Structure 1
Amino acid sequence: MNRRSCLAPVMVLTLTAVLAGCKQEREPPPPPRPALTMLVEPSAALDMVFSGAIQPQVQTPVGFRVVGRMISRPVNAGDRVEKGESLAAIDPLSLEMAARAATANLASARAQFDNAASTETRQAALLEKKTTSQAAFDNAEQERAAARANMEQAEANLAKAREQLSYAVLKADYSGVVTAIDAEVGQTVSPGQPILAIAEPTRRDAVIDAPGNDIDALQVGQTFDVSLQIDPARTVKGAVREIAPEADAVTRTRRVKIALDNPPQSFRIGATIFARAVTGADDMIRIPDSSLLRVGDKAQVFVVDPSSSKVELRDVEIAPDRTPKRWIVRAGLKAGERIVTAGVHRLTAGESVRIYGSEAP
């Protein structure tokens, strides 16, 4: 075989390999992927306004402890009452008769005791003279003890009857304002049935109903500016003192009670108000839903390295924001860092990106 013809295939293969190597060396790296990003900055922790009403912190329904027909109720809704003042009364006739019967029973029991005590004294004197038996003296002593027990029982029954008679008049346990009337004169009321309600007026709450998204951003101690709807210029400070643990079955809102700090008289019970959340020093970082990459129970974001323009995948702790498709970052990001806000499902950790536009935080 011709030597030249044998070397030809080898030279062709060698030349092909050389050309392929040159092509690989000359092929430029893939361009950075365009990425829409944003600088994360803290924003107002809360920017919420709710409507609600002024309610007392302490409000007590009061009622009689005994059954009877109500014959008077000198107070009405809105009246101010003092501690010990009469609020209502029931017909005391049956209670007075019970007290009289208890008094008579006590008088009878005392007479029986006096008689038994005298008999015991006589039997003791006769026993000393040996003119009566020990059994007769023991019997007299037992009768005296039984008569004493009956007398003590009668005394207790009289005290109970007098106490029951005192329940015929309903009195205020503390000074306050009558906020509700639940029974009218002439009505027969049962023990414990609410007759009216009294509110302690010095401590007042602004009560609002907040939806679930807002509740996640609230906490006990959160400050509010509360103003009257009829006079927005009148504003007082308040702080959340109670958040209902369960949502209302119909509205799916949760009740929030804001304790007012020295409210003026114009903030009357029942007045409608606006409550605006006051931003605290710990402002929150908010990011759009499109920047999140979810892997199981984890939430992650791509953080752009400013020196290399490469992205780093980082775990973050988030909570729902009141604005739809927004999330509050509780941990994992710092102010001033840049994150990718679109196309995160097509990125990989360590990939270079080119910042394309920017989104406001």
Structure 2
Amino acid sequence: MKPFAPLAMMAGLALAGCSEEKQAPEEVIRPVLSTVVEPRGQTAQGFAGTIQPEFSADLAFRLLGRLVARDVGVGDVVTKGTTLAAIDPLALELASQAARADLSTAEAQFANAAASEERQRTLLSESNTSQAVYDSAKQSLDSAAANVERARAALAKSEEQLGYARLFSDFDGIVTATGAEVGQTVSPGQMVVTVARSDAREAVVDVPDQMAIELKDGDEFEVALQTLPSLRTKGRVREIAPQADAATRTRRVRLALAEPPTSFRLGSTVTATRVSSASETIDLPLSALLEKDGKSFVWVVDPTASTVSMQGVEVEAKAGESFTVDGLKAGTRVVTAGVHSLAEGQKVRIPEGA
């Protein structure tokens, strides 16, 4: 009986070895970086600005003079042709009187020269004077006529300059600024009163240079009054500053308002919001893209089985480190790293908080 004991022991060891060989190796679960697909749709950006007149004028005198009257102040409503300010007209009135006197003198000299020319012409026809005497009389008449024209022009000029002593507006509007006080001597072109048209208003906002480059004339904004946001109106881009501000790197954009409410007074603070109507798109990092045999794929994570599968997609555009993709649904989890080392159906693990 003893010879059989070693044989039984060897048989047991052989069976144990076979069971160890048949035991499957433990499966490795790989952690992966991933992201959840979220479509990028409409975006709204708001910018603070103010209501300003679309048309305004800095009114100034054309002549040097002492300001003797300024009948308006900031906020006053003015009408076309109404006198706003005046300078001392005494010197201009004297110049006009002198020009009128010069015209009277020239007209008298012309009448005398005309009579002399007529007498010499009569004498010449009767051969009682020489041609030279008549030519001299005719020359005097022509010179007197020219002096009359010169005097008339000088009188018209002096009377026009007398009108420059009065400052008035060429349109109905509101006084928004004043630049001189009564008693002050003003120079030609120095701003005395600024008048803005109240019927044509616009919103003025400063837009970042990067966004302003994408704007074009006619782009629509929604403009809301900051003190009462429920009051809104539409505005369209009318003008974009050609150069960005050196300090703020923004461009000044002017929005023409479509029938703004009366509460949109000059100087009011508003918020201009641009709404982009672009269709929804999906952007992913380039590290999530797998290109194989001329086709594009991404690895999609199955949250139930914790496995990955390859899904074909259509790349619409590439920009920098990302690409725009079509063919994925919102909420899909896509692997964003190590896409070349994954296998179909491979078990993966999503780190906590990913």
Q: TM-score range by the shorter chain?
A: 0.7 to 0.9
Contact 1:40 1:334 in 2 (8 A): no
Q: Which residue of 1 aligns with 2:276?
A: 279
Q: Which residue of 2 aligns with 1:202?
A: 199
Cα distance in 2, alignment partners of residues 102 and 354 from structure 1: 106
Secondary structure of 1:69's match? strand
Q: 1:126 is aligned with what amino acid?
A: L
Report how far residue 221 of structure 1 moved.
1.7
What runs of 5+ residues in structure 1 fail to find an aligned partner?
1-32, 294-301, 319-324
Q: What percent of counterpart residues are identical?
A: 43
Contact 2:59 2:194 in 1 (8 A): yes
Pair 1:108-2:101 in alignment: no
The structure-2 alpha-carbon separation of the partners of 1:263 and 1:312, relative to structure 1 and needing over 3 Å to count, comes to closer
Report how far residue 142 of structure 1 moved.
1.1
Cα distance in 2, alignment partners of residues 341 and 60 from structure 1: 63
Q: Residue 43 of structure 1 is aligned with which of 34, 41, 44?
A: 41
The structure-2 alpha-carbon separation of the partners of 1:52 and 1:313, relative to structure 1 and needing over 3 Å to count, comes to closer
Cα distance in 2, alignment partners of residues 132 and 340 from structure 1: 120
Pair 1:129-2:122 in alignment: no
TM-score for the superposition, normalised by structure 1? 0.73
Q: Which residue of 1 aligns with 2:227?
A: 230
The structure-2 alpha-carbon separation of the partners of 1:135 and 1:259, relative to structure 1 and needing over 3 Å to count, comes to same
Contact 2:298 2:334 in 1 (8 A): no
Pair 1:82-2:79 in alignment: yes
Q: Residue 304 of structure 1 is aligned with which of 281, 286, 297?
A: 297
The structure-2 alpha-carbon separation of the partners of 1:74 and 1:91, relative to structure 1 and needing over 3 Å to count, comes to same
Q: 1:223 is aligned with what amino acid?
A: E
Q: Which residue of 2 aligns with 1:61?
A: 58
Q: Which residue of 2 aligns with 1:242?
A: 239
Cα distance in 1, alignment partners of residues 195 and 271 from structure 2: 25
* Greater Rg over alpha carbons, structure: 2
The structure-2 alpha-carbon separation of the partners of 1:309 and 1:196, relative to structure 1 and needing over 3 Å to count, comes to same
* C-alpha distance after superposition, 1:302-350 (max 9, x if no partner): 95379974688876468xxxxxx9x8x8xxx57546998945xx878xx
Cα distance in 1, alignment partners of residues 315 and 339 from structure 2: 10
Within 5 Å, give how 1:93-242 maps onto structure 2.
Answer: 93-242=90-239
Q: 1:113 is aligned with what amino acid?
A: F
Q: 1:112 is aligned with what amino acid?
A: Q
Contact 2:62 2:189 in 1 (8 A): yes
Q: Which residue of 1 aligns with 2:263?
A: 266
Secondary structure of 2:109's match? helix
Contact 1:182 1:194 in 2 (8 A): yes
Report how far residue 275 of structure 1 moved.
1.4
Count of residues in Structure 1 that have an aligned counterpart in Structure 2: 300
Cα distance in 1, alignment partners of residues 85 and 126 from structure 2: 65
Contact 1:34 1:354 in 2 (8 A): no
Deviates more, 1:210-219 or 1:121-130: 210-219
Report how far residue 265 of structure 1 moved.
1.1
Cα distance in 2, alignment partners of residues 286 and 99 from structure 1: 79
The structure-2 alpha-carbon separation of the partners of 1:305 and 1:341, relative to structure 1 and needing over 3 Å to count, comes to closer
Q: 1:234 is aligned with what amino acid?
A: L
Contact 1:303 1:314 in 2 (8 A): no
What runs of 5+ residues in structure 2 fail to find an aligned partner?
1-30, 289-294, 300-308
Secondary structure of 1:245's match? coil
Secondary structure of 1:236's match? strand
Secondary structure of 2:230's match? coil
Q: Which residue of 1 aligns with 2:16?
A: none
The structure-2 alpha-carbon separation of the partners of 1:283 and 1:145, relative to structure 1 and needing over 3 Å to count, comes to farther
Q: 2:257 is aligned with what amino acid?
A: L
The structure-2 alpha-carbon separation of the partners of 1:353 and 1:92, relative to structure 1 and needing over 3 Å to count, comes to farther
Contact 2:314 2:325 in 1 (8 A): no
Secondary structure of 1:78's match? coil
Pair 1:92-2:85 in alignment: no
Cα distance in 2, alignment partners of residues 101 and 214 from structure 1: 64
Cα distance in 2, alignment partners of residues 316 and 106 from structure 1: 83
